[in-house]
Structure 1
Amino acid sequence: MRRSRFFLFALLAVLATGVFLVLDGCSVSDKKSADTVMPGSFPVIDEAYSIIQENAVYPVEGDMLVEGALRGMADVIGDPYSTYLSEEEAASHKESLAGERVGIGAEITRSGGKYIIVSPIKGSPAEKAGLQPYDEIVRINGEALGGLKLQEVVKKIRGKEGSALELTIYRPDLNKHLELKVVREVIPVKTVSAELMEVRGEKIGYIALTMFGDETADEWKKATDKVIKEGAEALIIDVRGNPGGYLRAVGEVAGSLLADDTVFAYMQNVKGELTPLVVEPSEKFSFDGKLKTMPVVLLQDKGSASASEVLSGALKDLRRGFIIGDVSFGKGTVQDTMELSNGGEMKLSTHKWLTPKETWIHGKGVNVDLASEQDKLFTEHIRFSTDVYAEGDYHEDISYAQRLLSGLGYSVGRDDGYFDESTVEAVRAFRMEAKVSEENIMDRKFFTALREKVESYRKDKENDKQLQVAIGYVHHLLSE
């Protein structure tokens, strides 16, 4: 096949596949036809391809040139949500929204050029094999990891279910290397968590959605069934930090809360034509439709994007729920994800989505009904550090620690990353309270204790300012 024909086919490949509409992280199916693409060839691409292949002093494989051209076509659109995904990237993207993954079940980070186990998931292959937080992965199947990106290390760890992985790890607490064998298993990806909170004699269902993936709708049903069966009188839905996902998933969640045949959003194509997205009958949600009538409060923040904004926009416009927190991210476009003949995919923004009142929230976000600022310890990204810092040092790790210490109530005079005398005093006081060896340094033991203290602080719902505001509002509704 001539190269020009390949590029034409890359554009036409949509006719052979169903289309995924992804609200980045919504998804509906559609069909494309060859009539939507101008027929013809692109001889200039042939020319450039031949010139580079025949004359470039730095040789480049033909497939790499093709990949570069595909990326270039997506990049020139100037839309951060339109992009070309290689076969490998496309697989990772699908996996991120899947209901399960195959792996060892451990969070890994890169710190100081080292690949560190943050924590193994409870009951995972990693935990069964004996992996512990702060273990450093040195070799995988006998191969050293020097110079690899974190993404490449993760790729080496993943594999087929039932296959074995040989890990050489360095354990700082023992000051020795260990050889561990881990068998890869299917790791479920849970996107919904729920609990019943009893506050001031009232029962409130709290449900958090981390994303809208393959299994979210089913998980949502189980979660809502659980809290309603336990006597929930109202519902708090938490989509803080939810980056989005599949439209079908958010559609089912919205459908369980809204009256049948309600328009929960609109899709708008390039011609400006609107297609209503209508809630379908939701027989699978039981309890005599209680979910459609009980008071609802939704918590969102600036990290709530895309599909989560579809939900908050619908609840707000239809006056079905009260929104508390911060203005959301503001992503109002929908992407078609189309397979290409080389195994890759072209993810392209093809529609806008609008709220039931036909508002486009792109770049603006969904406004809240009641603004509430969150405790800074809840917005700080918790990370690992394996380095050692002392008075007089300057580093971002020190700034990070200063912010956490200040949030925990220790007196720190600055948070610019300079290890001054006030930081020394705060570190000493924290280490004494945390029963870590009394030294005036930030080391692995210090960062581990600091992380555990902040995680414990976050688990206490009394410290979650936005949640407490939501609970207070629900109490007001139920006491009316």
Structure 2
Amino acid sequence: MDENEKDLNRQDPPEEQKTPAGRRYIRIKPFVLLMMAFGLILATAGVTFFALTVGDDKVVEVVSPQTDRSQFKKLFDAYDAVKKDYYEDITDEELVNGAINGLIDSLGDPYSDYLDEVEAEHLNESITSSFEGIGAEIQERNGHIMIVSPIKNSPAEKAHLQPDDIILEVDGKSIQGMSSSEAVLLIRGEKGSSVTLKIQRAGMEEPVDVTVVRDVIPIETVYAEMLDDQVAHIQISSFSENTYKELLAGIEEMEKAGMKGMVVDVRQNPGGLLNSAIDISNLFVEDGKPLFQIEDKGKKPEVYYAKAGRKIKVPVVLLIDGGSASASEILTGAMMESAGIPTVGEHSFGKGTVQTPRQFKDGSNLKLTTSKWLTPEGNWIHEKGIEPDYPVAQPPYVKLPYIDPETEMTEGTTSMTVLAAEEMLEAVGYDPGEADGVYDERTKEAVEHLQQDEGLEVDGILAGDTTYSLMDKLREKIKTDDPQMKKAAELVHEQIK
């Protein structure tokens, strides 16, 4: 996955088949290239540029400038003026790409985008293999680049980047007004290299600099583990080519271990391929029941149904949050409305549009919003999200910002970073006194106790390995003291009884 927003994969055209009962469903062939999540995705995205296409072939009418030049006279006049009078040389390719970008930008739609050859190549890499970067899905919204969600176990997650964080700068360069694909080119880079992001987070008075060391981001999307009382926790981090196979393997592993119930977790999942979302939804929705609907411009919604096949028989609860977007929301809608599966967490991201990718001969790609998708009951969740059956908020310390280990804090230091450190110390069981942003004697004593417990040099200075140890403890607390997971497991146990 990529630091792009990711959504759903759209493909031409689906094959229609008949169920034994005569109902129509679709089988969509695998589509290797272009999510969006989501959806932002997609990735940074994001959520992240896969797109979803269901329906008839599209017919494009091409109007030749030679036969109807008057319609484009202003455009051609501007082109001629730039070529003739601009003080530096500029290529035809640069002008054409700029014109297309301007055309798409005028729509004001964060999910429609134009990717030049380089950007499209990065997207292909993120879908078909591992890639090198920070591992976060992003999208452009209202002129800002925002994080949809970090990828599980990625440098972005370890740096405590959060959904809805606004990236103001990349290595000191402002990215305000950039498209998500332009921002991705700045954020991605070779393994081992670092990038500094200036992050604005809701509730913080000042932006903070977050330095992230890039790494290889593998396309591993399913993580299965057994909780107490034979309840399996299966996390799906995105919907990629092999996610369905990974999920079946995870389920088989849990069944061998005696699984009696299941928590499906799509928190922080920005979306992915539609094929994957359909296959996974089919595991939970009875044959012949609706999965979702597609509404093209000027047409009535078309309903797509679950098909026969393997079904999950044990009790299931679904976990969602604000990072669950696009394909995650299709799965959520199908499980809630067509399978009656309880949902726990926070309202989802809210990405309910459909993008059609158009590949050009030079390798560039145009991704255009062409349709809406609706839940089985006809609800359009765009920019609203899906409200879970059991709303459960995460504790405030989950939203604490990353602390740069290169920043040294000693007695007398005053800053917003000190405030974040004090709140982290308190969250993991060390008393820093009043959390007021002042590194006082109580704060120093708390740091010394941390250093003693971790076998570090006891000097009361928060920096380097001490900072890493503090953030690792917080990450472990977030994982083990997860109120959303606890509620989901409780609901599964109730169903088992």
TM-score by length of 2: 0.70
Do 2:114 and 2:365's aligned partners in 1 also have CA atoms closer than 8 Å? yes
Taking the aligned partners of 2:283 and 2:247, their CA distance within structure 1 comes to: 9
Taking the aligned partners of 2:184 and 2:112, their CA distance within structure 1 comes to: 21
Which secondary structure does the structure 1 equivalent of 2:288 belong to?
coil
In structure 2, do the counterparts of structure 1 residues 95 and 440 end up closer, same or farther at CA, with 3 Å as the change threshold? same
Partner of 1:368: 388
Taking the aligned partners of 2:337 and 2:345, their CA distance within structure 1 comes to: 17
Which secondary structure does the structure 1 equivalent of 2:413 belong to?
coil
Q: Which has the higher helix share?
A: 1
1:92 aligns with 2:122: yes
1:73 aligns with 2:103: yes
Taking the aligned partners of 2:349 and 2:483, their CA distance within structure 1 comes to: 20
Partner of 1:27: 52
Do 1:20 and 1:335's aligned partners in 2 also have CA atoms closer than 8 Å? no
In structure 2, do the counterparts of structure 1 residues 435 and 306 end up closer, same or farther at CA, with 3 Å as the change threshold? same
Which secondary structure does the structure 2 equivalent of 1:97 belong to?
helix
The 5 A counterparts of 1:258-337 are 258-282=285-309, 285=310, 289=311, 291=312, 293-337=313-357
Partner of 1:478: 496
> Aligned pairs, how many?
394
Of residues 444, 449, 465, the one that matches 2:483 is 465
Taking the aligned partners of 1:342 and 1:416, their CA distance within structure 2 comes to: 56
The 5 A counterparts of 1:135-214 are 157=190, 188-199=218-229, 203-214=230-241
Taking the aligned partners of 2:81 and 2:189, their CA distance within structure 1 comes to: 36
Q: Which moved more, 1:303-312 or 1:434-443?
A: 434-443
**1:218 CA drift (Å):** 1.1
The structure with the largest alpha-carbon Rg is 1
Once the two structures are superposed, what CA deviation does each residue of 1:334-383 show, in whole Å capped at 9, x if it has no partner? 21122124422112111111111100111211111111122344444656
Which secondary structure does the structure 1 equivalent of 2:36 belong to?
strand
**1:418 CA drift (Å):** 4.5
Taking the aligned partners of 1:34 and 1:364, their CA distance within structure 2 comes to: 32
1:411 aligns with 2:421: no
The 5 A counterparts of 1:123-142 are none
Which secondary structure does the structure 1 equivalent of 2:303 belong to?
strand
In structure 2, do the counterparts of structure 1 residues 395 and 276 end up closer, same or farther at CA, with 3 Å as the change threshold? same
Which secondary structure does the structure 1 equivalent of 2:75 belong to?
helix
1:52 aligns with 2:52: no
In structure 2, do the counterparts of structure 1 residues 436 and 186 end up closer, same or farther at CA, with 3 Å as the change threshold? closer
Gaps of 5+ in 2: 1-11, 14-30, 42-50, 137-152, 160-170, 175-182, 195-214
Which secondary structure does the structure 2 equivalent of 1:348 belong to?
strand
Tell me the amino acid that sits aligned with residue 263 of structure 1. P
Percent of aligned pairs sharing the same letter: 28
Taking the aligned partners of 2:393 and 2:322, their CA distance within structure 1 comes to: 11
Do 1:296 and 1:320's aligned partners in 2 also have CA atoms closer than 8 Å? no
Partner of 2:243: 216
Q: Which moved more, 1:233-242 or 1:268-277?
A: 268-277
Taking the aligned partners of 1:428 and 1:267, their CA distance within structure 2 comes to: 59
Which secondary structure does the structure 2 equivalent of 1:72 belong to?
helix
Do 1:22 and 1:334's aligned partners in 2 also have CA atoms closer than 8 Å? no
Partner of 2:265: 238
In structure 2, do the counterparts of structure 1 residues 68 and 416 end up closer, same or farther at CA, with 3 Å as the change threshold? farther
Give the aligned CA root-mean-square deviation in angstroms.
3.5
Structure number with the bigger relative contact order (C-alpha 8 A, sep ≥ 6) is 2
Partner of 1:62: 92
